[in-house]
Structure 1
């Protein structure tokens, strides 16, 4: 099922309406809390295996990686992931900006030299994202929603792009199930805005179901 048809519809978000969806937002938070807690418990053996693999490849480096991201209303929070790059990866980013393979306020590079061997595997199957269940548990993120951007990316946003920051960010969304890194920045914005306008409990469950399929059959993650 495709969500982006290549056309820019200038989607407008009714912020007042979204803020007044009290029942939906409360039920979404309860579901997020319960599901993330169960997920952390059930997936703890997988967390241990990934941690050991990361340590075997780089005994001195940390298992987890945290990064400041911006969420709803541009509020900053620390997002967690399994470390998939070399320890000083951020310091080398400026040297790679000219090789960015996507347009707009994002950086993506298929053969990023900073990615470790273990990192290539966990990125391909998106398991590097699993520690974000902690962010969901804490309430920084939701299971489903727009991806939280970096502060430097938001500095390049237009007012139109900033509409995607009117709701709590998510671990997965239409971008992830519609091609992920094969989808450009403008397409990602359109997908996020369409999700915000369409979101409801059933649609969230659908996105989560499609996300599980992406874990099994990767669709462009790198």
Structure 2
């Protein structure tokens, strides 16, 4: 049932949000010269997939978790995208394709070995990664690997249609801090 909602909402978001996506891509092009950011992430069953987002950092920024990146790497437009979470909109394509869900653990990077290990212990990789979830709406998505993995596991154990809509509503209403950078 959740996959049905994922498909319908991501398709509707891409179709009806196309003018916004196009506008943000054009502004992003003038901001960095390359508005779309692609990065290999850890997916379901620890299989790699290519996550797409709007670029918020300069082109030469090293591939590290957001909270480990330098604040100087974020562009002015990137700050706006992160604060409003609009940088996440292209991930609706990942959801439509079935690489992600709207709700699930945020996909980590392959170089985040501690997080991958903690999530593997708690069987978090049995689920699709998501755009938002319990850790994001509670502002702990940039916490330590053990706490993040435990929070993800708790969310997956208790995930229902009601909580699925709750996490989406909380995200759309501005809960969570977005990607924080030191």
Q: TM-score, normalised by structure 1?
A: 0.73
Matches within 5 A, 1:141-160: 141-153=100-112, 155-157=113-115, 159-160=117-118
1:139-193 per-residue CA deviation (whole Å, 9 max, x = no partner) reads: 000000001111111x334754312212110010011100145644332222101
Shift of 1:211: 0.9
Q: 1:182 to 1:138 in 2, by over 3 A?
A: closer
In the other structure, the counterpart of 1:16 is none
In the other structure, the counterpart of 1:161 is 119
For the pair shown, the structure with the greater C-alpha radius of gyration is 1
Structure 2 gap segments, 5+ residues each: none
Q: 1:182 to 1:87 in 2, by over 3 A?
A: closer
Matches within 5 A, 1:37-48: 37-48=11-22
What is the distance in 1 between the residues matched to 2:125 and 2:171?
21
Q: 1:81 to 1:180 in 2, by over 3 A?
A: farther
User: Does the 8 Å contact 2:104/2:152 carry over to 1?
Assistant: yes
Matches within 5 A, 1:198-209: 198-209=158-169
What is the distance in 2 between the residues matched to 1:181 and 1:147?
8
The number of residues matched between the two structures is: 178
In the other structure, the counterpart of 2:6 is 32
Structure 1 gap segments, 5+ residues each: 1-26, 94-105
1:133 paired with 2:98, answer no
Q: TM-score, normalised by structure 2?
A: 0.88
1:74 paired with 2:46, answer yes
In the other structure, the counterpart of 1:15 is none
User: Does the 8 Å contact 1:182/1:220 carry over to 2?
Assistant: no
In the other structure, the counterpart of 2:28 is 54
In the other structure, the counterpart of 1:122 is 81
Secondary structure at 1:90's aligned position in 2?
coil
What is the distance in 2 between the residues matched to 1:189 and 1:146?
8
